[in-house]
Structure 1
Amino acid sequence: MKHLAIALLAVSPALLAQAKPSQAKPASTDVVQYVDPLIGSEKTPEGYGRTLPLVEPPFAMTGWIPQTRQNKISVLSYEWHDATMSGFMGTHQPAMWMGDFGYVTVIPQVGGELRTAPEARAMKFRHEDEQSHPDIYRVTLDAGEGQTLKAEMTATEHSGMMRFRFPAKGAARILVEASRPNFNGWAAVDLAKGEITGWNPHRMDAHLGPGSMPNAGAAALPNFKGYFVVQFRKLPKSGETYGKDAKDYRGAYVEFAPGELVELRVGTSFISLDQARANLKAEMPDWNFEALQHKLHATWQEKLAHLQVTGAADSDKVRLYTAFYRSQLFPRIMTEGGRYYSGFDDKVHEGTSYTAYSIWDTFRAEWSWLTLTSPEHIDGMVTALLNDYKEGGWMPKWPNPSYTNIMIGTHADSLVAEAMRKGFHGFDKETAWQAAWKDATVPPDGDTTRRWLDREVKTPYEARAGLTYYKTLGYIPVDKIDEAASRTIEDSYDDWCVAQIAKMLGKDREYKELMQRSLNARHLYNPARHLMNGKRSDGSWAPISGGEGGDTNANRSIAGWTEGDAWVYTWGAFHDQAGLMDLMGGAENYAKYLDQHFAGGHNDHNNEPSHHYGYLYDFAGQPWKTQERVRQIAAAHYKTGPAGLIGDDDCGQMSAWFIFTAMGFYPVNAASGEYMIGSPLYRQMSLKLANGKTFTVQAENNSAENQYIQSATIDGKPLTEPVLTWEQIQAGATVKFVMGSKPSQWGSAYRPKAAAM
């Protein structure tokens, strides 16, 4: 994520007028109508959500999107300003900064010569002729000579169905692209069956992680393929493969008569063509497009309707339910019929797998939101991380679908600790301990001979880079390891998480050792600066931020920060705010320096390290400032319209922040099971829980002006501290706030617990 300014944007004009499925529920109960998948798809100088208008069920293996440009690392397949469309993709790209893998592209084409390159096959379109919903995407394309081609698609967990209404003139042609130049995909046509089959071996992140090492063996994934089976409802007249040269686009095409309604369905798999065909048979046994769409609509309705809101305008509901939709897309399921392909040992296994966790982003709030809203997936998601550990040697930090060495820390430790803290039991806890203990104690190969640069190629799995120094010096030195100061702070938190796992499993010695180590972030506090400060291996202070000598990547590297600076990371040890408060000289100074943080423009909500900062005043006895700040951030960064999300969504983390904030609380230290209270945005919000109970937040007198909590109760009893717990939420409590226009002293006596034993 980059630093972005703020712009006020209007509601997407056609949003609530877009067509709905004929069997959709009435507007009073149908919350799917409020989801606008186009929010975040417009790139502007003020901000870019870097989101895709995905059609898919929650956590689907394959998502279906329109292609307005050719995606790659740092480029998504759809961008609002594009005026042409060159196909419809089954994609696995989870975020802009990651690559796609094993994708397949379906391309409708009207007559003329065969056109395979994106710029040659592209057709113009207008946003007025586009409808985007979680259950269906529709668009009318300009086919030339005054003609149009109408396209629509819907989806299941592993498959997609499309319909194309071709114009009266020109042959109706469908291309299925297996691979781009130099990636050697394969395709075949069976006209008698009305089928195109093939596979795509392209992994855009293949140059990262252990798979890029010389003699990588299984880590290079020689068996990896994204398989597809495309079936047509009506037999085509003709068809052939194309792109026999390695430098060509490769695939196959079929042709129909002009004016045809061409219906097709695509099954995808990472196991085999037979499995792709089996996925199709299981999920799309007939050709009823409307029934599939209605089923997908009902799936999203059932999920999203767990959240109910009172006192919100339609535009507020668009912000809220779009965020909820975004929060349920990742990680992606990799299981197919009880089996999965592993990107960690290049084999097919029995069991459960997920990928695309984006853990550096999502451990902060997205994972916590999933424990509340999709608890049926949590055991499987943790099991998948443990399977990755067994097959590859480590739990991953950003699987896509294998190790990528992107971002820092081993925050899978946080995910496991939070799941155990919240009572999830459907995974092997001894394996979880082994994996987390290895994260905390075993340095990566060549730890002291590498800088461990961001996205460095030809490196083994990074794990906790610099752990050797961290264990001996108590910090990671900036002259030895890249991003060292940020690593020290984040590793301290991960130590605390692994300590909690040890405590829950009765491992007292390991618990005490790790709790002591979890205080290592304190070694970087520079009392002369009142900020965290990177250190060199000789103990001397490094430049405190990239701003000293110019804010360049090189200078940030010298200072030791990851996507931030000293201001962004000083309050970064979620578990030890009490220790930081002591270092700063008490609560008053802690709050004073927070004031300087915000007044100096250091709070970069576009990026995850700043996401908890608005809630930190709760710890200092000034919760009214938290109430002000979180409302300001929510108003500035979460709007409607294609440019309405200011900052990368990063697999649901930005969205999860907004939903928690709308409800009035946030998991500053997610693995603790505690939530710090902010300022609820609406009169009432309720969340139906998996245990059948409903958790409710009421805010009497709530309004834009009445943002301050005057008093609070929980189930009718006084709530005096700005904290909620997992147990209170799971009990189906009702929290009632009385709001007012002026700050009050409610909650001001609270202080954080010390991280020490």
Structure 2
Amino acid sequence: MAKAVADTDSESNQGGFVLDGSNVTGFSSMHDSGTGGSPSLGNFALFPHVGCDGDIVNGCLYPKRSRKMPYLNDTVEAKPGYFGLSLASGIEVDMTTAQHTSLFRFQFPESDTSSPLIQVDLTDLSDSRQDNGTVSIDSETGRITGNARFEPSFGQGTYVLYFCADFHGAEVRDAGIYSDSRASTEVKDLTIARSINGYPLPGGGFVRFTEASVNSPILARMGVSFISSEKACASAEEEIPDFNFEEVRVAAEDAWREKLSPIQVSTRGTDLEYLITFFSGIYRTMVNPQDYTGENPKWQSEEPYFDSFYCLWDSFRSQLPFLTIVDPQSVTKMIRSLIDVYRHESYLPDCRMSLCKGFTQGGSNADVVLADAYLKGLSDGIDWETGYEAVVKDAEVEPFFWSVEGRGGLDSWKSLGYIPVQDFDYKGSGTMTRSISRTLEYSYNDFTIAQIASGLGKTEGLAKYTERSRNWRNLFKEDQTSYISQNGSATDTGFVGFFQPKYLNQTWGFQDPLECSNIDNNGSTCSLQNSGAETFESSIWEYSYFVPHDQAGLMTLFGGPAEFVRRLDYLHDQNITYIGNEPAFLTVFQYHYAGRPGLSAKRAHAYIPSYFAARPDGLPGNDDSGAMGSFVAMAMMGFFPNPGQDVYLILPPFFEEVAITSRLTGKTARVRNVGFDPTYEAIYIQSATLDGEPYHRNWIEHSFFLNGGELVLTLGRNESAWGTRVEDVPPSLSEYVGFEEFNGTEPGSNATLSGTRVRMLRREAAGMGSVELREYSFD
């Protein structure tokens, strides 16, 4: 819960610190990671002063805007469990944390005249404090306690946070409060309003220390709680009783080392930058969601409580599936927490932060999260009957305000089989946009509900939600064209057939398939604004591939595997997609479904390290609570999930060997590259064995990570026939048709091929387990 770091005045300070030459405004304990949008948390920042002008407390600058100060770039040090830098004032600051408590160490420069002062500010990163922030000072001990009410950064409502700050290492000279720019040691309590001008009045408390303290560090212990200041103090006293900085730092580092320990990689021949990128990606997958168990004032429960799900629309794709492999106990608690939110607030969240309901970006993607965990066998303490009840409610009962939970437009969804543009929806309220992306997401949400129904023996639910999962077809317009506009002229992309919006009367609307794409320069509105497009944060071109459960059906509409690949190439080669946004993730690997796994490996190596690297600009977009980190981690580890299904697409790891030890079984899954090439020219799988037996499928199930084993991949510099047959590709709701044998050249490009075999594989929707292989030979 405590995540100490410096806060800056950067426009990109959503997580607090930014290495961009901005100014430090304080040092706070609460942060979320890479969320985008408004800054999150950053409450009750500490700020150190070497001394006050004239040695009077009114000689210090207290408001955030006037006290802020540059930091020295070459002094920044960041590692798991530790952060430090030096300010331009000469003050060196470093910090570490326990679960609910941060420990800050301030080393002041030598001075013969000044008494150092440390203030506590009743504000947060986004200046969202509401009325009645309070602070109280104990003049004998210097303890500062208080609380304030704040707004979440991407949701509705407010939350109250409490703190308890203690100081150690120097004698307290005096203490007091400040309001706006004035301070007093005579007043020990303050309650302050927000103000009327949209910016909270500066206010807080301070402690000043004797002159003798300036040559030794002053430690500040900051406990935080959503329950009370008393609980914040109790947590701080229990977790960091003796202000031993090194002891706390080592414990934090050891905790991180243990979290990262299930994954080991061979370093032979591997560039250090790749290793840093890989493990930094893993690190970032574990920063959010945050374990607030015991800190939820909204209801009493024996269940875990996790917060900072920022947002499931981002994290369902690879972050939570990655954690299911390496930290299944934590994911199990998260699932229990999500189900408990349903029990007490009537719906599963799609986004949640700071005890508040966050905004829904598309479908009810907690359905995918629960299905993914269910299919991969997570069970300890999870009430799956209640979990199923929760996902069914998402599909069947429209909430009053579906911008923060559930789904809107359910009457149309059930009667028409799509979400209409300009829908007539009187049962609930929400932003009437994103009709295409919501239709596609609802289709997949329903498919994942069917998977849970299948496992629980809910035959009626299996049939109903499997059928509804086919609704994506209802917005596919077979004759829709797409043009690229440049310099006043339009060039036909040459592709026909795209999703389009449709009205209540079942007539077609229109959205340029390239609107909201990476090459859209028309200033399109593509987020949650009322004027937003019919796709969310991405184009129809990219959403055309978001049919994760029926790639065979989509492939047929696109004209077969070869056209599926050609269109996918165009999506990437023309920069229509952008890897800095989550809808792009799966498109990197969807070549597997067309029997071209080598092209997925080629794309992964094009994006890493071009867009992901160990440098300040080494992320192409907001990390989104570990979404970007998990993309890197999964791809470099050699697997990518199709979440909500028991499917991991196989590609060569970026290391000679990767070993993942299951925390549930203690068994190790090992992937070994034969012919590993550290220059990454030999990135194509030629053949594979699993536990010594030939393995032809280009995907693998979660049981590999649970039961352990050795997957050996023999690599070469050219695409091979491995994983290219129709029986080698992952399951799909519809039949695969049109596959041709691949012999290292483009299918159809070898004019001498005869006796071509076309194989069609039908996997029944019920359980996705029944396989019927039909093979035809013809000249």
Q: Aligned AA for 1:393?
A: S
Q: Does 1:86 align with 2:25?
A: yes
State the Cα deviation string for residues 504-525 of structure 1 (Å, max 9, x = none).
2111111100000011111122
Q: Does 1:712 align with 2:654?
A: no
Residue equivalent to 1:403: 357
Q: Aligned AA for 1:332?
A: Q
Offset at 1:102? 7.6
Offset at 1:271? 0.8
Residue equivalent to 2:629: 655
Checking the alignment, whether the CA contact within 8 Å between 2:10 and 2:20 is kept in structure 1 is no
Q: Does 1:362 align with 2:305?
A: no
Q: Aligned AA for 2:512?
A: S
Distance (whole Å) between structure 2 residues aligned to residue 182 and residue 462 of structure 1: 25
**Length-normalised TM-score, structure 1:** 0.84
Distance 1:391 1:648, change over 3 A: same
Residue equivalent to 1:440: 395
**Length-normalised TM-score, structure 2:** 0.81
Residue equivalent to 2:84: 138
Checking the alignment, whether the CA contact within 8 Å between 2:498 and 2:513 is kept in structure 1 is no
Checking the alignment, whether the CA contact within 8 Å between 1:340 and 1:351 is kept in structure 2 is no
Distance (whole Å) between structure 2 residues aligned to residue 543 and residue 717 of structure 1: 52
Offset at 1:86? 2.3
Q: Which of 437, 441, 450 pairs up with 1:490?
A: 441
Question: Once superposed, which parts of structure 1, at least 4 consecutive aligned residues long, lie more than 6 Å away?
Answer: none
Distance 1:683 1:151, change over 3 A: same
Residue equivalent to 1:68: 8
Q: Aligned AA for 1:713?
A: T
Offset at 1:420? 1.2
Offset at 1:479? 2.5
Q: Which of 406, 428, 444 pairs up with 1:463?
A: 406
Q: Does 1:516 align with 2:478?
A: no
Distance (whole Å) between structure 1 residues aligned to residue 17 and residue 622 of structure 2: 15
Offset at 1:253? 0.2
Q: Aligned AA for 1:327?
A: T
Q: Does 1:198 align with 2:133?
A: no
Checking the alignment, whether the CA contact within 8 Å between 1:577 and 1:754 is kept in structure 2 is yes
Distance (whole Å) between structure 2 residues aligned to residue 124 and residue 565 of structure 1: 40
Q: Which of 669, 676, 691 pairs up with 2:649?
A: 676
Residue equivalent to 1:474: 417
My pick for the range that moved more, 99-108 or 363-372, is: 99-108
Q: Which of 293, 296, 302 pairs up with 2:258?
A: 302
My pick for the range that moved more, 324-333 or 583-592, is: 583-592
My pick for the range that moved more, 127-136 or 610-619, is: 127-136
> Secondary structure at the residue paired with 2:339?
helix
Residue equivalent to 2:241: 285
Coordinate RMSD, CA, aligned: 2.1
> Secondary structure at the residue paired with 2:357?
coil
Distance (whole Å) between structure 1 residues aligned to residue 14 and residue 634 of structure 2: 29
Q: Does 1:639 align with 2:613?
A: yes
Checking the alignment, whether the CA contact within 8 Å between 2:662 and 2:706 is kept in structure 1 is yes
Q: Does 1:541 align with 2:508?
A: yes
Q: Does 1:332 align with 2:280?
A: no
Offset at 1:199? 0.9
Checking the alignment, whether the CA contact within 8 Å between 2:10 and 2:22 is kept in structure 1 is no
Q: Which of 715, 718, 724 pairs up with 2:700?
A: 724
Distance (whole Å) between structure 2 residues aligned to residue 530 and residue 697 of structure 1: 40
Q: Which consecutive residues of structure 1, in runs of 5 or more, have no partner in the other structure?
A: 1-60, 212-220, 453-460
Q: Aligned AA for 2:470?
A: L
Where in structure 2 are the equivalents of 1:209-608 lying within 5 Å?
A: 209=156, 211=157, 224-233=159-168, 234-243=170-179, 246=193, 247=195, 248-258=201-211, 259=214, 260-310=216-266, 311=268, 312-335=270-293, 339-342=294-297, 346-347=298-299, 349-357=301-309, 358-401=311-354, 402-425=356-379, 426-445=381-400, 461-480=404-423, 481-528=432-479, 529-545=496-512, 547=514, 551-554=522-525, 560-608=534-582
> Secondary structure at the residue paired with 1:479?
coil
Distance (whole Å) between structure 2 residues aligned to residue 379 and residue 752 of structure 1: 26
Distance 1:559 1:281, change over 3 A: closer
Q: How many residues align?
A: 660
Distance 1:161 1:683, change over 3 A: same
Residue equivalent to 1:53: none
Offset at 1:752? 4.0
Where in structure 2 are the equivalents of 1:608-623 lying within 5 Å?
A: 608-623=582-597
Offset at 1:487? 0.2
> Secondary structure at the residue paired with 1:636?
coil
State the Cα deviation string for residues 484-540 of structure 1 (Å, max 9, x = none).
100000111100111111112111111100000011111122222322222222222
Distance (whole Å) between structure 1 residues aligned to residue 676 and residue 497 of structure 2: 37
Offset at 1:182? 5.2
Residue equivalent to 2:75: 129
> Secondary structure at the residue paired with 1:153?
strand
Residue equivalent to 1:37: none
Q: Aligned AA for 2:203?
A: R
Distance (whole Å) between structure 2 residues aligned to residue 544 and residue 534 of structure 1: 7
Residue equivalent to 1:177: 121
Distance (whole Å) between structure 1 residues aligned to residue 42 and residue 416 of structure 2: 44
Checking the alignment, whether the CA contact within 8 Å between 2:319 and 2:626 is kept in structure 1 is yes
Distance (whole Å) between structure 2 residues aligned to residue 446 and residue 77 of structure 1: 31
Offset at 1:737? 0.7
Distance (whole Å) between structure 2 residues aligned to residue 702 and residue 177 of structure 1: 54
Distance (whole Å) between structure 2 residues aligned to residue 239 and residue 349 of structure 1: 40
Offset at 1:555? 8.1
Higher relative contact order (CA 8 A, sep 6+): 1
Distance (whole Å) between structure 1 residues aligned to residue 730 and residue 262 of structure 2: 32
Distance (whole Å) between structure 1 residues aligned to residue 305 and residue 632 of structure 2: 28
Q: Does 1:153 align with 2:95?
A: yes
Distance (whole Å) between structure 2 residues aligned to residue 555 and residue 418 of structure 1: 28
Distance 1:554 1:599, change over 3 A: same
CA radius of gyration, larger in: 2
Offset at 1:183? 4.1
Offset at 1:347? 4.2
Distance (whole Å) between structure 2 residues aligned to residue 658 and residue 110 of structure 1: 43
Checking the alignment, whether the CA contact within 8 Å between 1:542 and 1:558 is kept in structure 2 is no
> Secondary structure at the residue paired with 2:91?
strand
Distance (whole Å) between structure 1 residues aligned to residue 150 and residue 337 of structure 2: 23
Q: Aligned AA for 2:690?
A: I
Checking the alignment, whether the CA contact within 8 Å between 2:14 and 2:40 is kept in structure 1 is no
Residue equivalent to 1:15: none
Checking the alignment, whether the CA contact within 8 Å between 1:99 and 1:204 is kept in structure 2 is no
> Secondary structure at the residue paired with 1:427?
coil
Q: Aligned AA for 2:406?
A: A
Distance (whole Å) between structure 2 residues aligned to residue 317 and residue 123 of structure 1: 34
Checking the alignment, whether the CA contact within 8 Å between 1:267 and 1:276 is kept in structure 2 is yes
Q: Which consecutive residues of structure 2, in runs of 5 or more, have no partner in the other structure?
A: 53-58, 180-189, 196-200, 424-431, 480-495, 734-764, 767-779
Checking the alignment, whether the CA contact within 8 Å between 2:392 and 2:449 is kept in structure 1 is yes
